[in-house]
Structure 1
Amino acid sequence: MGRMSRRGFGVVAASVMTAMLASGEAAALEVRDGAAPTRRREFRGMWTATVVNVDWPSAPGLSPERQRTELLGLFDAAVSRRLNAVILQIRPTADAFWPSRYEPWSEYLTGTQGRSPGWDPLAFAVREAHKRRLELHGWFNPYRVANHTDPGRLVPTHPVRIHPEWAVPYGGKLYYNPGLPEVRRFVQDAMLDAVWRYDLDGVHFDDYFYPYPVAGQTFDDTAAYERYGAGFPDRAAWRRDNIDRLVRETGERIKRRKRHVRFGVSPFAVWRNRATDPLGSDTRAGVQTYDDLAADTRRWVREGWIDYIVPQCYWHIGFGPADYAKLLPWWAETVRGTRVQLYIGEALYRAGDPAQPAPWQDPGELSRHLDLARGRPEVLGNVFFSAKYVASDPVGAMARVVKDHYPHRARPPR
């Protein structure tokens, strides 16, 4: 798809303004001469992944001073790109980047699970983010225990060593079993420990609920299904209910105690293909969250169990199986009429990667994504994966986004 002409984009901008005037949202817009309106309030975030040291720390076992310096470098990069939120992964594998009462220190800090890094990374992150007028959302992976299947490699005090019946090996990894009510309550407690003790602006779940399918393998939750699955038409419905309960209960617990803390999820972007369900998107994706991950993301929005959703629309405009330009309106329609805010997850990491298709070799691809998003009043922001690419910007794709769409800083929506 070619870049929208200035005249064509002006027509879209006018229609957006009309819609926002009708809904009382025009005050949130600022119109630049000859350009699309920009919002005074929009979510501009970046994911900062800690699992296997993707973004931070750059390696396990660094000195506290080096870890702090690296994190501040990423925060400063966010500010320089006129972002306003950092989604920091603080519980990647049933571990913690704070002195948790429930789970061990993360091995990605010191290289040894359970070993204290000698400082409190989360307290530091909250303080330094807020100094820079950045929101800090704690990013949690609810059920992943380890990137291996050997419980003996976990620290002796790990909950899975104490409760081996809680764990299921699958696809070379170890997971908490979502079908056990005691597990559901425990993982909520473990995650919310950080929320109760730190001034986080948000609680953020990623796309991993039941694990992504692995050919030829079965997630063995038969015993739990036989014990708790009565009354459900099949195991798939029971699994979806398990995840529905996790999401609903987590949101309820947050609001009872810290109403200002926002709860969001960043799912794989395809709920269901239209060929599977007439309510689904015009896609032909090989994974559907409803069917494959037991994650009924559309329901979470329609029921209002979450405050915001960030579908990972990690494909280029025109990609046949999952076209960005087709997913965007589907998600806009999904949130319409709800209080759930929609931000779009962007694959900055693909820009300039020689292994990616031709559209990703164009530094303007991501900017065109935001062009389309600005034509949908339901889209209130974007989140970029990941922090190290926000900072390094190897082909200038992030700089192009900033130039075209972020002429000044903006406050996050509330």
Structure 2
Amino acid sequence: MAAVTRRVFTIAATAVVCGLTAADTAAAQPRGPQGRPVRQFRGMWLATVANRDWPSVRGLPEADQQAELIGFLDTAVERRLNAVVLQVRPTADAFWPSPFEPWSEYLTGQQGADPGWDPLGFAVAEAHRRGLELHAWFNPYRIANHADPGRLVPEHPARQHPEWVVTYGGKLYYNPGLPAVRRFVQNSMLVAVRRYDIDAVHWDDYFYPYPVAGQVFDDDAAWHEYGEGRFPDRASWRRDNIDRLVRETAARIRRTGPRVRFGISPFGVWRNAATDPEGSDTRAGVQTYDDLYADTRTWVRRGWIDYVVPQVYWNIGFPAADYAALVPWWSDVVSGTGVRLYIGEALYKAGDPAQPPAWQDPAELSRHLTFCADFPQVRGNVFFSAKEVAADRNGAMTRVVADHYPTRVRPPH
């Protein structure tokens, strides 16, 4: 048996005092001078859907698209970040030459049109050249932000398999209740895992769609064929569909690219305590378990994912969903699991006059990271999104860097 160093003994003893488990101790952040983490996840989302962040407009020449992307990567380095989460499958399309799905319209302005270069391959190479991790962000079920299948290219899988499609809330979705859909979605993402040196597969908060008043997600046929009589109710069946997608994708990623991690960034509230005593002290209008049929807590506790980034997009003291209530709740969820916890931050709210007064204070976001420092399970933060990281509307990002990122560090192992 190897000798136990004084440092390891000290960490273990501290863990006992703080009530941490052995898994927490193993995952505890090594600290350097002034107690700052030696390793910490510092990420930003780079959204492509509807050209939110990049490319700025559709149809830019290749050189201009590449220059914009490099600009965002350089901004990440300047802000002392170490990871970029790039959206590469925003609407059942692709930012790489996919054998399963068409080129994204957000590149050229025309779905299926070859942009003449490989954005994902370029992004991976340029990110790694700068010491940044590149997490490839996929949306599993969203097909289009409109309700007209005729606007999709003729060879689109959704047009080849109209039985896979559900129209809901003015948008098109793949039906999560169909095994063929689940397999197709996995295949379309895993080809990128095989082809590129990505550091992670990343999903956001879209599973079953967010509720739309007066609308019904019409999955009757799938329920009757695959769920009725096997589950106590449709909600349980829907949650099982998403559980299967997560569990199967995790297993396939580990077989296909053992070094590639799998992370999910869910809406920040699993369930309110009024709904479930194990839920958070919140009064959120959406609960992922009940409304999106995403049992995010189970995914963590069963170790199906490598990291979780709950979108805790509210200020400290916000009555319905207090940042200071949710970070401890999520810290407790990951405790003992070995799953990394990074907190998703609403940088886009900072300085927005439409937001509550707390978001007009440039120090609000910095206070979030100060609060997180008291929870050893929190291993980093991810900022939404790249455009705001660059613009720094009210100086909130500059304040975060000054207060918390004095030097660049590497992400956790």
TM above 0.5, yes or no, is yes
The aligned residue for residue 211 of structure 1 is: 209
The alignment's TM-score, normalised by the length of structure 2, stands at 0.94
The aligned residue for residue 11 of structure 1 is: none
The aligned residue for residue 94 of structure 2 is: 96
The aligned residue for residue 167 of structure 1 is: 165
Residue 29 (structure 1) aligned with residue 34 (structure 2): no
Supply the RMSD in Å over aligned alpha carbons: 1.6
CA distance in 1, matches of 2:371, 2:16: 15
CA distance in 2, matches of 1:153, 1:24: 51
**Does the 8 A contact of 2:193 with 2:256 survive in 1?**
no
The alpha carbon displacement at 1:243 in A equals 0.2
CA distance in 2, matches of 1:392, 1:71: 15
The alpha carbon displacement at 1:127 in A equals 0.2
The alpha carbon displacement at 1:259 in A equals 1.1
CA distance in 2, matches of 1:228, 1:178: 11
The C-alpha deviation readout for 1:118-143, integer Å capped at 9, x for no partner, is: 10001100000000000000000000
The letter of the residue matching 2:308 is: I
The C-alpha deviation readout for 1:347-398, integer Å capped at 9, x for no partner, is: 0000000000000000000000000100000000000000011111111100
Match of 1:156 among 150, 154, 159: 154
Runs ≥4 residues deviating over 6 A: 14-18
The letter of the residue matching 1:341 is: R
The alpha carbon displacement at 1:257 in A equals 2.0
The aligned residue for residue 310 of structure 2 is: 311
CA distance in 2, matches of 1:26, 1:373: 13
Residue 271 (structure 1) aligned with residue 273 (structure 2): no
Which runs of 5 or more residues in structure 1 are unaligned?
1-13
The letter of the residue matching 2:89 is: R
Q: Matched residue of 1:29: which SS? A: coil
The alpha carbon displacement at 1:24 in A equals 5.4
Which runs of 5 or more residues in structure 2 are unaligned?
1-12
Match of 1:120 among 109, 118, 121: 118
**Does the 8 A contact of 2:345 with 2:382 survive in 1?**
yes
Identity %: 70
**Does the 8 A contact of 1:16 with 1:377 survive in 2?**
no
The letter of the residue matching 1:290 is: Y
The alpha carbon displacement at 1:31 in A equals 3.4
CA distance in 2, matches of 1:211, 1:373: 30
The letter of the residue matching 2:157 is: P
CA distance in 1, matches of 2:27, 2:101: 43
CA distance in 1, matches of 2:259, 2:375: 26
**Does the 8 A contact of 1:17 with 1:26 survive in 2?**
no
The letter of the residue matching 2:39 is: R
CA distance in 1, matches of 2:370, 2:14: 14
The aligned residue for residue 72 of structure 1 is: 70
Matches within 5 A, 1:9-408: 23=25, 28-32=30-34, 37-229=35-227, 230-408=229-407
The letter of the residue matching 2:186 is: Q
**Does the 8 A contact of 2:44 with 2:385 survive in 1?**
yes
**Does the 8 A contact of 1:136 with 1:200 survive in 2?**
yes
The alpha carbon displacement at 1:26 in A equals 6.5
The letter of the residue matching 2:80 is: R
The C-alpha deviation readout for 1:209-259, integer Å capped at 9, x for no partner, is: 000000000000000000000310000000000000000000000111211
CA distance in 1, matches of 2:171, 2:39: 40
The alignment's TM-score, normalised by the length of structure 1, stands at 0.94
Q: Matched residue of 1:168: which SS? A: strand
The aligned residue for residue 9 of structure 1 is: none
CA distance in 2, matches of 1:108, 1:294: 29
Aligned length: 397
CA distance in 1, matches of 2:21, 2:81: 26
The alpha carbon displacement at 1:186 in A equals 0.1
CA distance in 2, matches of 1:197, 1:366: 37
**Does the 8 A contact of 1:138 with 1:203 survive in 2?**
yes
Q: Matched residue of 1:178: which SS? A: coil
